[in-house]
Amino acid sequence: MTFQLSPEQEAIREAVHEFGMEEIRPVAKEYEADHRYPSELLSAAADLDLVAPHVPEEYGGAGMDAIATVLITEELWRADPGVGGSIAAADFGTGMLLEFGDEWMCEEWLPPITAGETPIATGISEPAHGSNVAGMDTRAEQDGDEWVLNGNKMWITNGSVADVAIIMAKTSPEKGHNGITAFLTETDVDGYDATPIRNKLGIKAQDTAEIVIDDLRVPDENVVGEVDEGFYQLMQFFSAARADVSGQATGVAQAALDEAVAYAQEREQFGQPISEFQAIEHKIAEMATNVEAARSLAYRAGAALEAGDDALATRLCSMAKLFASEMAVDVTDEALQVHGGAGYVSDHHIERFYRDARITKIYDGTSEIQKNIISEQLF
Ligand SMILES: Cc1cc2nc3c(=O)[nH]c(=O)nc-3n(C[C@H](O)[C@H](O)[C@H](O)COP(=O)(O)OP(=O)(O)OC[C@H]3O[C@@H](n4cnc5c(N)ncnc54)[C@H](O)[C@@H]3O)c2cc1C
């Protein structure tokens, strides 16, 4: 086992870091203020193979491994969680298509997604059912060689900007979690109506939407994977999504740490830079140690995914997500504290990072749900 990134992975990190700090960070505040989805930057990132980088080359991707995928997400979030996160969001959904989609789905949709021409959305959560995925109310009923979908999806990333979406629906409601199916649909069709949610705490440049699904017709060939197998498909795909969130959390925490170190050296009180107070030095040391610990766990989760060890990957991806997201909320809080009053206003980036970090404890399974998953493996 090696604890070093390969020279190739280091080179990828450097390239993404450069792109992030030169192209994303300088404009991030504007996108956040306008709640504007960064389509232009999605195209620029695609030119560097940063959109869904795990997708194989034959479908327009770069065929990168799971660790490289996590570290790309990390650097994109380090640049800015709203804008960088919009780019990294293509990881969610493409994994499901690759793993379970038919060949035509991959050929038709993965090239425009990796080219940054369209985002993809994945609709699982609903107004009344978030953590309890198996409780979903959205229904799909067969009508000849089509399925008719009805229901509501809530908090869907890319829901109003994507040209294509995967929608989870109950096909055999009486069978509970054994009766859920994934459907691929274009979004510019009757029956798919998305409304952006604009009053979020953070990641404001990212698109999050509520989707009303009203007699949405999908041909039989648009079933992703097998009928009634959607819940199990999701569980498999969630491990990669959680490793990705651990990269997001590590990235925003590193960004906060960078800001805190720089500010502590600039700001003087009592005739000396505040970085010379031991209280500040120790705060920074603890923050750096926690970021590094989260990063190690995130890459180990990536390595477990890469090794194809499902049980280990499930455990490590949940542990990495839990630890990194809790850490990111704490580290951004401490970094804001280092800024004093200046951290409480939007003149510095830290106020935004503090708000952005909070989402990592909620989506792709809350911290409480991660603890349930981890403990299930221990007893
Ligand atoms: C910005 C954003 C983007 C999102 N993107 C997507 C997306 O692209 N696709 C998608 O499908 N969803 C998405 N979500 C939804 C997200 O996955 C859910 O919000 C999350 O799973 C929690 O569900 P909930 O909000 O309904 O909370 P609830 O499930 O109502 O949970 C409320 C509280 O109860 C706790 N709780 C619930 N059940 C248990 C339990 N069994 N044990 C212990 N505690 C429990 C939770 O941990 C939480 O603290 C997104 C959400 C946000 C905010």
- Between the CA of 362 and the centroid of ligand 1 the distance, in Å, is 6
Q: What is the mean pLDDT of residues 229-246?
A: 94
Beta bridge partners of 141: 148
> What CATH number was assigned to the domain covering residues 231-378?
1.20.140.10
User: Which residues are CB-neighbours of 290 under 8 A, at least 6 positions away?
Assistant: 253, 327, 330, 331
Indicate whether residue 369 lines ligand 1 (CB < 6 A): yes
Band (pLDDT 50/70/90 cuts) for residue 188 is very high
One DSSP character per residue, 85-106 reads HHHHTTHHHHHHHHHHS-HHHH
Q: Is 80 exceeded by the pLDDT of residue 2?
A: no
The predicted pLDDT at position 3 comes to: 78
- Between the CA of 244 and the centroid of ligand 1 the distance, in Å, is 17
What does the CA dihedral 61, 84, 7, 52 come to, rounded to 10 degrees? -20
- Which residue CA neighbors atom 30 of ligand 1 most closely? 130
* Percent above pLDDT 90 for the chain: 97
| Among 252, 339, 248, 253, CA closest to 289 | 253
Domain with CATH 1.20.140.10 in the chain: 231-378
Indicate whether residue 131 lines ligand 1 (CB < 6 A): yes
User: Which residues are CB-neighbours of 51 under 8 A, at least 6 positions away?
Assistant: 42, 45, 87, 90, 113, 114, 115, 116
Exposed / middle / buried, residue 336 (Cβ in 10 Å: 0-12, 13-18, 19+): buried
| Among 370, 70, 50, CA closest to 246 | 70
- Between the CA of 363 and the centroid of ligand 1 the distance, in Å, is 6
Ligand 1 mutation pick, 155, 370, 372, max ligand atoms within 8 A of CB: 155
Q: Is 90 exceeded by the pLDDT of residue 157?
A: yes
| CATH number 1.10.260.40 given to 120-228 | no
The predicted pLDDT at position 51 comes to: 97
Domain with CATH 1.10.540.10 in the chain: 7-114
Q: What is the mean pLDDT of residues 24-48?
A: 97
Please compute, for residue 144, the number of CA atoms within 13 A of its CA located in the half-sphere on the CB side: 4
Mean pLDDT of the chain: 97
- pLDDT, one tens digit per residue, over 328-367 is 999 999 999 999 999 999 999 999 999 999 999 999 999 9
Indicate whether residue 363 lines ligand 1 (CB < 6 A): yes
Q: What is the mean pLDDT of residues 176-188?
A: 97
The predicted pLDDT at position 4 comes to: 87
The predicted pLDDT at position 1 comes to: 59
Q: What DSSP element (H or E) covers 194?
A: strand 192-196
At 98, list the tokens: 């690759």
Indicate whether residue 70 lines ligand 1 (CB < 6 A): no
- Between the CA of 41 and the centroid of ligand 1 the distance, in Å, is 28
Q: Which fold has domain 7-114?
A: Butyryl-Coa Dehydrogenase, subunit A; domain 1 (1.10.540)
Indicate whether residue 155 lines ligand 1 (CB < 6 A): yes
Indicate whether residue 136 lines ligand 1 (CB < 6 A): no
At 53, list the tokens: 């980088």
Residue 213 phi, psi dihedral angles, 5° rounding: -110, 115
Query: Cβ atoms within 10 A of the Cβ of 322, count?
Result: 26
In single-letter form, the type of residue at position 266 comes to E
> Is 246 or 4 the better-scoring residue by pLDDT?
246
Ligand 1 mutation pick, 94, 136, 199, 362, max ligand atoms within 8 A of CB: 362
| Among 182, 170, 155, 163, CA closest to 237 | 182
Q: Left, alpha or beta for 172 (phi > 0: left; psi -120 to 50: alpha)? A: beta
In single-letter form, the type of residue at position 358 comes to R
- Between the CA of 137 and the centroid of ligand 1 the distance, in Å, is 15
- Which residue CA neighbors atom 23 of ligand 1 most closely? 130
In single-letter form, the type of residue at position 303 comes to A
Closest atom of ligand 1 to 89 CA is 8
Q: Strands 164-170 and 120-123, how do they pair? A: parallel
Ligand 1 mutation pick, 91, 131, 211, 322, max ligand atoms within 8 A of CB: 131
- Between the CA of 367 and the centroid of ligand 1 the distance, in Å, is 10
Indicate whether residue 275 lines ligand 1 (CB < 6 A): no
User: Which residues are CB-neighbours of 132 under 8 A, at least 6 positions away?
Assistant: none
> Structure pTM?
0.97
- pLDDT, one tens digit per residue, over 244-302 is 999 999 999 999 999 999 999 999 999 999 999 999 999 999 999 999 999 999 999 99
Domain with CATH 2.40.110.10 in the chain: 120-228
Q: What is the mean pLDDT of residues 68-81?
A: 98
